[in-house]
């Protein structure tokens, strides 16, 4: 098995012709958390939801089968999985013979759990079933039309503030302007982000400028969302907080981290570009 000291990302790698669980590359969560001073008593619950749009295998007669998988990884796992390594692993299933999608999902669950060292759930959908789920997009207050002057493109939590004289409210802010960058390849990653909270009103202009300030930031999706959650919590002190980013897919995969002060399931969401 590869490790986070030997990234597959950014390297020329052949596509596998045979099943190989050893392609999966773990990356320690604690490395990213230490950078933002989060210890083992991290102040949130959550999951990372991966959508794999290109799952294929062979039935027992050799006929190709196809499905879309939703892979949910607990934020309590020791590791995250490197995205390119997951793509290569999923492609290694292409010539595997299996009686049903249940067998493929069980195998994926076992292999990915071994990689991340923690709880993983895998749900398989036919193409038709996936597209009729009727998932909504983000709703609430769209920040993107605010008239702002932006001059900071590195994460700047000082832009965040809450209006303590405004009383306690519950509202949802969202934006389609989050852009971060892969820390290995520096390729851009585009996302929509939702901030749902109960607390003193968060200044909307500052929140939008803060989201935009991530434009040059390099980090994995999961670590970006944990940084955003932690900085909003530290600066605005909400009673309850949820942060949910839906990243655009790349290479047939999208990664969608969700962090919450409460132990609840993330809302079912699909962004139009996914």
Which of 5, 46, 11 is CA-nearest to residue 25?
5
Q: Catalytic residue at 189?
A: yes
Confidence of residue 270 (pLDDT cuts 50, 70, 90): low
Percent of the chain with pLDDT over 90: 78
Confidence of residue 104 (pLDDT cuts 50, 70, 90): very high
149-206, pLDDT tens digit by residue?
Answer: 999 999 999 999 999 887 999 999 999 999 999 998 899 999 999 999 999 999 999 9
CA proximity to 173, closest of 205, 214, 131, 132: 205
For residue 53, give the nearest of 255, 269, 268, 266 by alpha carbon: 255
Catalytic member of 25, 75, 111, 189: 189
- State the pTM of this model: 0.90
Domain boundary assignment for the chain: 21-131, 141-260
21-131 and 141-260: identical CATH topology: yes
Q: What is the structure's pLDDT at 9?
A: 58
pLDDT, position 165: 85
Catalytic option among 75, 182, 224, 236: 182
Active site residue 129: no
What pLDDT is recorded for position 15? 78
Q: pLDDT tens across 70-82, in order?
A: 999 999 999 999 9
- C-alpha angle 252/70/138, rounded to 5°? 90
Name the band, by pLDDT with cuts 50, 70 and 90, for residue 134.
Answer: low
CATH number of this structure's domain 21-131, picked from the four choices 3.90.330.10, 3.40.50.10490, 3.40.50.1820, 3.30.1130.10: 3.30.1130.10
CATH code for 141-260?
3.30.1130.10
Name residue 191's beta-bridge partners: 178, 247
Mean pLDDT in the chain?
Answer: 91
212, 213, 226: which is closest to 154 by C-alpha?
213
């Amino acid at each position: 098995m590869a490790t986070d000291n030997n990234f597959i990302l950014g390297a020329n790698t052949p596509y596998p012709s045979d099943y190989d669980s050893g392609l999966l590359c773990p990356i320690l969560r604690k490395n990213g958390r230490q950078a933002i001073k989060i210890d083992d008593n991290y102040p949130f619950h959550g999951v990372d939801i991966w959508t794999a749009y290109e799952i294929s295998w062979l039935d027992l007669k050799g006929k190709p089968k196809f499905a879309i998988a939703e892979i949910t990884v607990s934020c309590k796992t020791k590791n995250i999985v490197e995205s390119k390594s997951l793509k290569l692993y999923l492609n290694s299933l292409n010539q595997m013979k299996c009686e049903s999608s249940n067998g493929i999902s069980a195998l994926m669950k076992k292999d990915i759990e071994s990689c991340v060292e923690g709880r993983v759930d895998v749900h398989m959908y036919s193409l038709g079933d996936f597209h009729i789920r009727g998932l909504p997009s983000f709703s609430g207050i769209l920040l993107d039309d605010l008239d702002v002057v932006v001059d900071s493109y590195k994460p700047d939590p000082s832009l965040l503030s809450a209006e303590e004289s405004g009383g306690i409210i519950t509202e949802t802010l969202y934006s389609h302007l989050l852009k971060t960058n892969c820390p290995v390849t520096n390729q851009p990653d585009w996302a929509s982000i939702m901030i749902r909270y109960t607390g003193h009103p968060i200044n909307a202009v500052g929140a939008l400028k803060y989201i935009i300030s991530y434009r040059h930031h390099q980090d994995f999706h999961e670590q970006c969302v944990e940084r955003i959650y932690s900085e909003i919590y530290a600066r605005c002190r909400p009673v309850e907080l949820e942060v949910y980013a839906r990243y655009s897919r790349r290479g047939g995969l999208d990664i969608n981290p969700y962090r919450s002060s409460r132990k609840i399931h993330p809302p079912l969401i699909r962004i139009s570009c996914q």
